[in-house]
Amino acid sequence: MNSAATITTIQGVSSIGVEAIFQLLFKELQQSTKASEQNCRDVATRIAAEVYRICSESKRIQAAGTVENSAMTLARHRLQQCLRYYELGSNRGRVELHSTLSAIIYRYINPPQRQLSYQGRLVVIEDFLQSFYLEALNAFRRENQLGTSYRPQTLLELAEYMAFTERYGKRRIPLPGRQQQLIILRAQTFSQQQPPETCVDIEQAAEGSGNEADGSWEDPAVQQLRSAMATQPEPEPQEDTLRSVVITELMNYLEERQQSDCADYFTLRLQDLSAQEIESILGLTARQRDYLQQRFKYHLIRFALLHRWELVHEWLEADLQTNLGLTPQQWEVYTAQLDEKQQSLLELKQQGHPDEKIAKTLGLSMAQMQKRWFKILEQAWEIRNSLISGSGASTHE
């Protein structure tokens, strides 16, 4: 496609305005990237063509009578999206795009008759997005009148494609009484088409004792499991392994308590998104997001100090064997502020006695004992996080 000459007849945009927009895009790409002149020209032409098409087809823009201003504003927006991915680079750009789209569809990836864990959903999301990226590439070719063999070759072309893919996924599709993002509709359809969960005898898979007569040994699920079991991957670092377990357990904890909105919020926090981005994705006001954040914090503390305190404290390297992660000076101050029963409870815990025996020894019900233990851990948590000691906050917490 040759510069702006092919798109000077768009309704409401003069040929001078068309040329000005094209030149803006072309010059900015030349100044902000290391791409060749022809590469910048091609990308600028495609962005300009999309802008003119949108302005021409939009009844709202046409009715407003400010087509040239709208076209210039939209062109600048498209340009900034492209340059953002260009600056991120190939690897970081792909991670950013993957994270953005994953966060949008997380709550909608839920195959029927299957209760997926956090890690399970990530696997399904990965499968879905691979097919969605191909769909987006085909849409990019079609809308820009490119051949079926076109693939992004340069960093600028890759950035252009990634920016398009993000916009393509976020397109609003009109439905009866509402609108929905295209990628959400695709994710829902993908989930519904997933086959029911397959049961596999793990001993049979491991030992190869399937009955060849009934064909069970040829079952693809059995073959896949055997392949996974036969592979000996390099062990993950202990801290990364524990972190994954903590995340999975926390997601399960939230889902068991029907706190799916808290689970969605936690997923977005894992993507390191800003408060404004979280509000936009979840469709919340700032006040609603703040309320959700406080509710998530409540469940997080209950999980960390009561439900799975051993796991969390092992990950934080703050278990009972290390005096709950406190320095000798902090430990001395901490134990001095405990009452007699709290000190006895702490000592019995450090000695490894089961909860039932500890409760009986102290003359407490299980609920009373757990409440006291929660308070003990909470006080140590506060000291580690400098609410008392005034030192730097823990990087984990």
pLDDT in tens, the chain (397 residues): 444 444 444 444 445 567 788 899 999 999 999 999 999 999 999 998 888 888 777 777 677 666 777 888 888 999 999 999 999 998 889 988 988 898 888 878 876 555 666 667 778 888 889 889 999 999 999 999 999 899 999 999 999 999 999 999 998 888 887 888 899 989 888 887 766 655 545 455 455 444 444 444 455 555 554 555 455 455 545 455 667 777 878 888 888 888 888 888 888 777 767 788 888 878 888 888 888 888 888 888 888 777 777 777 776 666 677 777 777 777 777 788 888 878 888 888 878 788 888 888 888 888 888 888 888 887 777 776 654 334 443 333 3
**Contact, 289 vs 279, CB < 8 A?**
yes
What is the per-residue pLDDT for 204?
52
Q: What is the pLDDT of residue 16?
A: 52
pLDDT at 164: 94
Per-residue model confidence (pLDDT) at position 217: 46
DSSP state of 393: P
Res 111: pLDDT: 64
- φ, ψ of residue 210 to 5 degrees: the values are -65, 155
Q: Are the beta carbons of 121 and 109 closer than 8 angstroms?
A: yes
**Pure H helices in the chain:** 15-32, 37-57, 59-64, 67-105, 118-143, 155-170, 182-192, 202-207, 220-230, 238-256, 260-270, 275-282, 286-302, 309-315, 328-336, 340-350, 355-362, 366-384
